[in-house]
């Protein structure tokens, strides 16, 4: 799996260590372990004796997972490729990193099924935003000229997918206290991360970075996640951080249909390099379709 902006982001990760609050007590958080399903798939994929077709056959034993892989292979993201009529064929089309992302997405959703139907916390909304952000991360990366890409689109998809899981961890850990923080942010019209810091001493991005560290994800991933609410990083941060930051904001404007705000985001997105205005609005149009397709 490629790493977004490895050198720059590693340096930026060191800087974040001094920027962010350090008073997180891991013992008060219900931090998730790396999903077993992902570890099992990674083990298969790292086995030189197993081809992607054989991995696909093994994955096909899980009907839900197999269906997701086939659906992905036949989606617009892989237009021009042969039609996938089996999990084995689909696995060959989408490749290793995409398979990992599908497994990760399903595993994370399954991990929090116990709070999915609780009305005081809108978990489906968090998942929709995360998947939409992940999709936009991938689209932004693919829109860059190849000579300017510092990481693969599937790597950036992973960053987008987990960038807000800290909110879920905080709710799962504090329940009513965290609901109160959400309501306070809404009542005061303040960003949620600001109220989290005021009440807890850290925010959901810090929690997600801690989880990513526990999962032994690269420094570049941790840096991209940790600074996704830092406005300056769209223009001045490492490429991976800029992409996650921009994708998070684009997802918000798509969710709220705030097209005026979308127009204001073109200038900072343009700084990524090689993304013209037509590509920018195509990404937004495609993101709108992704949002409409999500049923969680």
Domains defined along the chain, listed by start? 6-33+114-293 (1.10.3210.10)
**Contact call for residues 118 and 168 (beta carbons, < 8 A):** no
Counts for the chain of helices (H) and strands (E), in that order: 17, 0
pLDDT tens readout for residues 8-40: 445 444 544 544 445 788 899 999 999 988 888
**Contact call for residues 169 and 32 (beta carbons, < 8 A):** yes
pLDDT at residue number 9: 47
Q: What is the DSSP letter of 255?
A: H
Over 90: is that where the pLDDT of 196 sits? yes
CA distance 218 to 225: 11
pLDDT at residue number 251: 96
pLDDT at residue number 40: 87
Average pLDDT estimate for 257-271: 90
Average pLDDT estimate for 248-260: 94
**Contact call for residues 115 and 150 (beta carbons, < 8 A):** no
CA distance 151 to 241: 11
What are the tokens at 241? Answer: 């951080």
What are the tokens at 64? Answer: 């839900």
Average pLDDT estimate for 206-230: 90
Over 90: is that where the pLDDT of 137 sits? yes
Over 80: is that where the pLDDT of 67 sits? yes
pLDDT at residue number 149: 60
Instruction: Tell me which residue has tokens 């941790």.
Output: 222
């Amino acid at each position: 799996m490629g790493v977004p902006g490895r050198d720059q982001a590693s340096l930026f990760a060191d800087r974040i260590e001094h920027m962010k609050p350090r008073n997180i007590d891991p013992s008060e958080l219900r931090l998730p372990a790396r999903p077993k399903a992902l570890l099992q798939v990674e083990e298969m994929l790292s086995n030189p004796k197993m081809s992607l077709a054989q991995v696909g056959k093994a994955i096909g034993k899980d009907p839900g997972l197999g269906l997701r892989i086939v659906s992905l292979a036949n989606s617009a993201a892989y237009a021009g490729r042969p039609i996938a009529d089996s999990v084995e064929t689909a696995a060959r089309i989408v490749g290793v990193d995409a398979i990992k992302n599908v497994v990760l997405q399903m595993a994370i959703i399954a991990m929090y099924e116990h709070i999915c139907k609780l009305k005081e916390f809108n978990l489906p909304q968090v998942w929709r935003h995360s998947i939409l952000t992940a999709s936009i991360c991938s689209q932004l990366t693919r829109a860059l000229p190849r000579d300017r890409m510092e990481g693969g689109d599937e790597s950036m998809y992973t960053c987008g997918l987990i960038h807000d899981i800290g909110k879920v961890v905080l709710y799962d850990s504090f329940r009513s206290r965290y609901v109160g923080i959400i309501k306070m942010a809404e009542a005061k019209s303040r960003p949620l991360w600001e109220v989290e810091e005021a009440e807890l001493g850290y925010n959901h991005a810090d929690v997600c970075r801690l989880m990513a560290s526990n999962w032994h994800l690269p420094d570049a991933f941790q840096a991209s996640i940790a600074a996704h609410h830092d406005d300056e990083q769209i223009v001045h941060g490492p490429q991976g951080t800029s992409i996650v930051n921009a994708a998070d904001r684009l997802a918000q404007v798509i969710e709220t249909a705030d097209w005026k705000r979308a127009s204001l985001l073109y200038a900072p997105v343009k700084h990524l390099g090689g993304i013209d205005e037509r590509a920018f609005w195509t990404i937004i149009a495609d993101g709108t379709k992704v949002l409409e397709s999500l049923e969680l």
